[in-house]
A and B are shown apart, each in its own frame.
Chain A
Amino acid sequence: MVDSERLTTLAGAVHLMDALRGLLPALCVLVAVLVLLLARARLHAVAWLGLCLLLVGSFCLLATTAAPVVASRLFDTHPDAAASTTATLDGLTAGLVTQSAVLAGLGLAMLIVGITAGIVISHGDGRRHVDGYV
């Protein structure tokens, strides 16, 4: 038996996500493009976007890792029930862990590319500047 009051609250949020299914990722891409358009240095903007993705991925990873421990302490004191809660949340959030890890990896790659390319290009500009004087 599942208490429908709690379930409705939880599932209400899920249902909202369902309503926004394609909209959120599309909006994300749109804002990222806006950031790239507004930025003077595009590569720095790529690095900033990467940092954002890295933060989001890391936060979700941390939250999903900590959730079973926190939930088992909050809801059940019986060891069997705690183990069951931990196993349930582990299984349920396995997809989110993978997804967040991919997001964090992508963010890290963007961050490294943004910073490295920024340094290389500015170094090249510097050399051209010096050559111009010579």
Chain B
Amino acid sequence: MRVIVTSMGLIRSFLLAIALLAFLVLALVANVGVWSLTTLVDSQAFAATTSRIIARPEVRSLLADRLAVRLTELVVPVSGRVPTVVRAPLGLPRAATSDDVRVALAEVIEATLARPGIVAIQQGALEELHRAVLELIEGRDDAGAQDPDIVLDLDAVVSAVAEQLDPGSTGFLGQVVPSAWGRSPWWTRSG
């Protein structure tokens, strides 16, 4: 009888240990799961979090640099000669190089991204990006299957930069971007 009681006690202790171990693992997974649910899975929460991240100076600076590189590729011809329509709004001298354009554009973009009004535009673009990612994961996006990359649509930011550079008119960026964004350079389209 004592042997049975001891065995039952051992089994109970063993089950208790297993349950505690399971609780430890489950608590860990649940903690990360709840966080991912409230931060990464919900589109609005994701956009709000990412907007806060973009508002940080280090990230804003890097984003401005990357965007400036892409824009410079679009507005400066391969020959390297910077057109007047590009130089003038940026206040660059005649001998300006594409690197000067990139640096000047990065400064303007960084200043634009710091404007409070741009946050709403960013949030919209980020929500779209998030939906595109979710659709890609769920296999609902046919375009995503053909194009393996997902692009964050920053046309609105570029338009704001163009407006800041050349207020009152469409500006040199306004003429080429977003219509030429990711397609042929503007001079081949206009010329």
Contact = CB atoms under 8 A, between A and B. Distances in A.
Chief secondary structure at chain B's binding surface = helix
Chief secondary structure at chain A's binding surface = helix
Given A35-B23, A80-B62, A5 B49 contact: no
A85 to B, nearest CB: 9
Most buried by A among B20, B38, B61, B133: B20
Contacts of A56: 24, 27-28, 31
B32 A27 contact: no
Interface in A19-45: 20-21, 24-25, 27-28, 31-32, 34-35, 38-40, 45
Given A8-B136, A21-B33, A28 B27 contact: yes
A10 to B, nearest CB: 9
Given A59-B28, A92-B49, A28 B23 contact: yes
Nearest to B151: A1
Contacts of B23: 28, 31-32, 35, 49, 52
A99 B149 contact: no
A38 B16 contact: yes
B65 interface: yes
A72 B107 CA distance: 24
Given A4-B148, A15-B41, A96-B35, A35 B16 contact: yes
A99 B31 contact: yes
Interface residues of B, number: 45
Interface in A41-78: 45, 48-49, 52-53, 55-57, 59-60
B59 interface: yes
A81 interface: yes
A32 to B, nearest CB: 6
Interface of B: 12, 15-16, 19-20, 22-24, 26-41, 49, 52-53, 56, 58-59, 61-62, 65, 129, 133-134, 136-138, 144, 148-152
Interface of A: 1-5, 7-8, 11-15, 17-18, 20-21, 24-25, 27-28, 31-32, 34-35, 38-40, 45, 48-49, 52-53, 55-57, 59-60, 80-81, 83-84, 86-88, 91-92, 94-96, 99-100, 103
